[in-house]
Structure 1
């Protein structure tokens, strides 16, 4: 499929998805939402992809919702609109039968994608552009990146589950600070809060993200990544006993898999692994 608002590229088991409206700082439109959803599904279903990188074209990561859409929305009558129905119209649910309902919503479907998603945040990450990286698994930021929720400044609220996800990443007080004030923070403050995993030189951002993605794509089992991601996100909804019980079940399945045999063999034989994901 050809895309108008994103760029999709696959190389060496890494799919790079670039939001591509640089003249609008990659502001999100309905078309971009649909194309991003399609690209994520394509990456997930491809045997040639083991890791996904999400980044932005030009000098920004994503400036949020396109302001022309917001201007139209501010003049509409929302009193009779069913927001759940509207979301279903705008973006199909992530369709995997075994995915939690929590992870079948707009943007919250990222955790249901069975491959690691790395956000490479190259500039402004504001509003909806702040939401996207929260649902990625790992976040690398350029030294030039800036982050802001923006919602309260627009008379809006913490949308798309941010009130649930953000405190789990940065803690309750930091989350409330960012949501209340809508202030912009730089990459170093984001790192101190735990909002991002790593801050790198601007010109090295994509190379650093790809180096980490290559590590995941070539040295660890794709099956292990798939199961571990599901374990971690599902554990957000379970207690310790349930997590241990689930881990025991998954361990028994892992011991029967080809990747376990290869994991032992390459270690004993002191050679690079040749994992298949089975």
Structure 2
């Protein structure tokens, strides 16, 4: 499939999705939003893909919604059916909404944040499984400066990542923070020099694709995103069920075999 506003490439089991509107700092339009969802769903279904990298072309990751579209955006668009379709009918409804489909993707998503991540750009990074930042990255919620609110569930997810006080600060003040502060408060997992970011993201992607079981990664990603809605007993019960299935899996057999035989793993992914 060809895309108008992003680049999509698969190489060595890694799908790289690059938002490609550098002249507009990769600001979201309805076309880009739709293409991004299509690309992530395609990567999720592709058996040749084991991990996904999301990044931006030029000097920005994503500067949020394109202001030209925001000015004429109908208020009811926020709940339009086209954005709320199900990604995976076996997942909670919480993960079948406009941006929370990121957690429903069966492959880990790595946001390689190369520059500004504001508004919806920050939300996409938060819904990713890993956040690696260039030392030139800048973060802002921006909503309060536009007369908006904490949209798309950011009031739920941001405090779980950076804590209540930091979330209150970032949301209510709309102030910008640099990559160093983002690292200090736990907003990002790692900060690297700008020219090292692509390699750092690919190294992580390759580790997820080659060194560990894709089946384990898929199930554990689901466990971690489902756990906030579960009691401890529910989490244990679900884990016990999944453990039985994992012990019967081909990846478990390979996990034992490559350890005993002292060779690199060759996980089939099932």
Q: The TM-score by the shorter chain falls in which range?
A: over 0.9
The Cα offsets for residues 11-69 of structure 1, whole Å up to 9 and x where unpaired, read as 00000000000000000000001100110011011111000000000010011100101
What does residue 55 of structure 1 align with?
55
Give the Cα separation in 1 of the matches to 2:77 and 2:199: 43
How do residues 68-217 of structure 1 correspond to structure 2 at under 5 angstroms?
Answer: 68-73=68-73, 78=75, 81=76, 83-84=78-79, 86=80, 88-89=81-82, 91-217=83-209
Is residue 87–residue 101 contact of structure 2 (8 Å, CA) maintained in 1?
no
Give the Cα separation in 2 of the matches to 1:275 and 1:44: 17
How do residues 232-251 of structure 1 correspond to structure 2 at under 5 angstroms?
Answer: 232-251=224-243
**What is the deviation of 1:83?**
4.4
**What is the deviation of 1:82?**
7.6
What does residue 266 of structure 2 align with?
274
Equivalent residue of 1:61, what SS?
strand
What does residue 16 of structure 2 align with?
16
**What is the deviation of 1:115?**
0.6
Give the Cα separation in 2 of the matches to 1:260 and 1:71: 53
**What is the deviation of 1:95?**
3.1
- The alignment of Structure 1 onto Structure 2 pairs a total of residues equal to 270
The Cα offsets for residues 195-232 of structure 1, whole Å up to 9 and x where unpaired, read as 00000000000110001110110011110011001111
Equivalent residue of 1:140, what SS?
strand
In structure 2, runs of 5+ residues without a counterpart are none
- TM-score normalised according to structure 1 size: 0.95
| Runs of 4+ with >4 A deviation | none
Q: Please report the RMSD computed on the Cα atoms of aligned residues, expressed in angstroms.
A: 1.1
Is residue 41–residue 87 contact of structure 2 (8 Å, CA) maintained in 1?
no
How do residues 208-227 of structure 1 correspond to structure 2 at under 5 angstroms?
Answer: 208-227=200-219
